[in-house]
């Protein structure tokens, strides 16, 4: 099954971040009106920070945060206070600055000695929140690495091909190596999948994805998510378009 991917090109990261914040507000309003809550999986890395700051600042009053439930697409297997933690990044740029009820923020656990135990615990969290089966998020935010990874699904790894478990522990070849990630079935089930991708270092892979999304899907997890997702929208900046 291959869906066409929708691409919106912006001049720079601030413009991408503003468009993403606007999408977040719109999708939150729709989900809350239709289902009484807005279930979002946040992305890690650097790119989402500016969008978070806009949501916590200029757009703060446009979201009914009491109805928002925040999850994570992946997490580095470090202490939540570690500078490399995606949870810490989200807490500093968003969670500490908006009135989301504490019980509605669902970090990926990273305390157990065995990361597989934490993966199963997060699966239990997802099923407690969404019921049995594959959770359908209203919005999953994703980035892409220069190697075409997304969340912590890296090219050629077992986790990238996993279609049964909802959450997997992975050993990546970038720092920090140990990570937990939502798997393809979850990342492709969302009502809306929003990729935020900026930076010339990602241009080579982006060119391949644009040229042949389905073909690129066999090489890059980011492309596979995009073509299998119900509705994937890419917000990219000019540095990717040359």
Instruction: Based on the shown chain and the rule CB under 6 A, indicate whether residue 44 belongs to the binding site for ligand 6PG.
Output: yes
- Tell which phi-psi region holds residue 199, choosing left (phi > 0), alpha (psi between -120 and 50) or beta: left
Which residues within the stretch 110-149 sit at the binding site for ligand 6PG (CB under 6 A)? 143-145, 149
Residues that contact ligand 6PG, how many (by CB under 6 A): 15
Pick between residue 67 and residue 122 the one whose CB is nearest to ligand 6PG.
Answer: 122
The verdict on 93 binding ligand 6PG (CB under 6 A) reads: no
Binding ligand 6PG (rule: CB under 6 A), the pick from 47, 85, 110, 157 is 47
Residue in 14, 45, 80, 155 binding ligand 6PG, rule: CB under 6 A = 45
CB 43 within 8 A of CB 6: no
DSSP annotation string for 3-48: PPPEEEEESSHHHHHHHHHHHHHHHHHHHHHHHS-EEEEE--SSTH
**Least distance (Å) between residue 76 CB and ligand 6PG:** 6
The number of C-alpha atoms within 13 Å of 86 and in the hemisphere containing its C-beta is 31
Helices (H), 131-237: 158-161, 184-187, 203-211, 213-217, 221-228
Q: Is 43 in the site for ligand 6PG (CB under 6 A)?
A: yes
Q: Which is nearer to ligand 6PG, 73 or 217 (CB)?
A: 73
From 102-110, 150-158, 213-221, 231-239, span contacting ligand 6PG (CB under 6 A): 150-158
CB of 172 to ligand 6PG, least distance (A): 9
Cβ of residue 138: shortest distance to ligand 6PG, in angstroms?
A: 19
Q: At what angle do helices 221-228 and 203-211 cross, to 10 degrees?
A: 40
Quick check: helix, strand or coil at residue 210?
helix
Please tell me the distance from the alpha carbon of residue 20 to that of residue 14, in angstroms, as a whole number.
Answer: 10
Distance CA 151, CA 143 (A): 7
46 binds ligand 6PG (CB under 6 A): yes
Residue 109 makes contact with ligand 6PG by CB under 6 A: no
Alpha helices of 60-172 — where are they, by DSSP H?
86-93, 115-130, 158-161
Q: Judged by CB, which is closer to ligand 6PG: 52, or 191?
A: 52
What is the closest distance, in whole angstroms, from the C-beta atom of residue 98 to ligand 6PG in the complex? 20
Nearest approach, Cβ of 59 to ligand 6PG (angstroms)?
20
Q: Are 69 and 106 in contact (CB under 8 A)?
A: yes
DSSP 164: S
Check binding of 151 to ligand 6PG (CB under 6 A).
yes
Residues lying near ligand 6PG in the complex (CB under 6 A) are found at 43-47, 73-74, 86, 143-145, 149-152
């Amino acid at each position: 099954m291959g869906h066409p991917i929708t691409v919106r090109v912006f001049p720079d990261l601030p413009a991408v971040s503003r468009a993403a914040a606007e999408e977040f507000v719109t999708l939150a309003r729709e989900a809350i009106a239709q289902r009484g809550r807005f279930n979002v999986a946040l992305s890690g890395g650097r790119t989402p920070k500016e969008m978070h700051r806009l949501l916590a600042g200029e757009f703060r009053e446009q979201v009914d945060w009491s109805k928002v439930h925040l999850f994570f697409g992946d997490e580095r297997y470090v202490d939540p206070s570690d500078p490399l933690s995606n949870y810490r990044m989200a807490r500093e740029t968003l969670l500490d600055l908006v009135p989301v009820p504490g019980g509605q923020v669902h970090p990926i656990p990273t305390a157990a000695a065995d990361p597989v135990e934490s993966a199963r615990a997060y699966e239990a969290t997802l099923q407690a929140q969404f019921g049995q089966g594959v959770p359908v998020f209203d919005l999953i935010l994703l980035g892409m690495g220069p190697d075409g990874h997304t969340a912590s699904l890296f090219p050629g790894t077992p986790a990238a091909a996993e279609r049964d478990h909802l959450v997997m522990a992975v050993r990546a070849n970038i720092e920090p190596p140990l990570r937990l990630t939502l798997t393809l079935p979850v990342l492709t089930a969302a009502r809306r999948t929003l990729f935020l991708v900026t930076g010339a270092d990602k241009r080579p892979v982006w060119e391949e994805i644009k040229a042949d999304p389905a073909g690129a899907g066999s090489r890059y997890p980011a492309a596979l998510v995009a073509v299998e997702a119900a509705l994937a929208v890419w917000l990219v900046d000019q540095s990717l378009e040359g």
